[in-house]
Amino acid sequence: MIFNKNAEISAIGAYLPEEKLTNDDLSKIVETDDEWIYSRTGIKERRISKKTEFSSDMAIKAVQNLLDNNSVSVDDVDMIMVSTITQDYYTPSVAALVQSYFNIPNTGSLDFNAACSGYVYGMQMAFSLIASGQYKKILLITADTLSKIVDYKDRATCVLFGDAATATIIQRKEGLNDQVYSFSGTNGTIGKELFCSNISEYINGEEIKSKHVLNQNGRALYVYVTRDISEMVLDFFKQNSIDQDSINWFVPHSANARMITKLCEHIGIPDEKSLLSIRLCGNTSSNSIPLALWLAMKEGKIKRGDKMFLLGFGGGFSYAGLIFNF
């Protein structure tokens, strides 16, 4: 899909819990070591939330970080959207808790679950809602306390996931009329390869043995992303006459550094153009892409007008891509 946007990212903030869980720390919990983890995932450490710290707490701290470090306000935000799979409650939403804390007077609020694709879906919705004229300023938050749903006896998953939150302001800009390229999709038949149970004790007709914790078939997902997702991306480029060389920065979901290197190779984008957050944060679900943007902005890498390609993929199995000028 191609559409025109009249909005831009004004600012990004983030919050990372203080506690670090290093590879050496994990070697004392499960049979593993730093070399094994880093060579297979590209992860050195991940952040872990306190027992009394939940997604809404981290979301609030990410918004506060945004306010403390940018000349922006949230008082006039007219929609709060939160991407999370670890909301504090079934209801109220994390978005409603953020609204209450900052006392934002006239705003809608909602949580949504697209797992690791959440930020890209959120950006697609934000650009579209503002283009429709219904909203002018959207606060897009990602927040997950994945450590609270990780089985630290399962080496296949406990080495991967970390906690984080981010906050992004997307707002209307008069006179802007930029073209956006967007796609999204789902393959629910492989949802069983990455899931966390809730009420049901079955998935795809099979009984769930490890309940209420993250379950992942890393090998199956690696193959699907590097083969099927890469082919979808190449088809998208071809259909829309997009030259890979025109892309300044590729920002994929930071699931696995080795996977991203292979993905870059398949879709024809140099690995050095990819922005990741995995080394010191681990896999943070929908936080990984905005974290990578936040870190790159702090380093002065991203400039206004740079062509960005965001690519999310993960639980569901959902995927989404977005190409736009920053």
Q: Which of 158-162, 201-205, 256-260 has the lowest mean pLDDT?
A: 201-205
Residue 297: band (very low, low, confident or very high) from pLDDT cuts 50, 70, 90: very high
pLDDT score at 199: 72
Q: How far is CA 126 from the centre of its chain?
A: 15
Q: Which of 37-46, 66-75, 214-223 has the lowest mean pLDDT?
A: 214-223
Query: Residue holding tokens 């997950």?
Result: 144
The domains of the chain, with CATH numbers, are: 2-172 (3.40.47.10), 178-325 (3.40.47.10)
103 is an active site residue: no
Q: Which of 65, 116, 158, 215 is catalytic?
A: 116
Each residue of 78-123: pLDDT tens digit?
A: 999 999 999 999 999 999 999 999 999 999 999 999 999 999 999 9
Radius of gyration of the chain (CA): 19
177 is an active site residue: no
Q: Which of 65, 256, 283, 287 is catalytic?
A: 283
Query: Residue holding tokens 């984080």?
Result: 164
Q: Is 195 helix (H, G, I), strand (E, B) or coil?
A: strand
Does the pLDDT at position 322 exceed 90? Answer: yes
Residues contacting 174, CB < 8 A, separation 6+: 6
CA dihedral 292, 87, 50, 195 (to 10 degrees): -70
Cα 226 from Cα 312, distance rounded (Å):
13
253 is an active site residue: yes
Bridge-based pairing of strands 249-252 and 307-314 is: parallel
Q: Please indicate, yes or no, whether the overall pTM of this predicted structure exceeds 0.75.
A: yes
Cα 85 from Cα 285, distance rounded (Å):
9
Output the CA–CA distances (angstroms, integers) from residue 252 to 75, 169, 199, 271, in the order listed.
31, 20, 31, 11
Cβ count within 10 A of residue 249? 20
Q: Which of 158, 196, 215, 253 is catalytic?
A: 253
Query: Residue holding tokens 């190409």?
Result: 323
Cα 10 from Cα 173, distance rounded (Å):
10
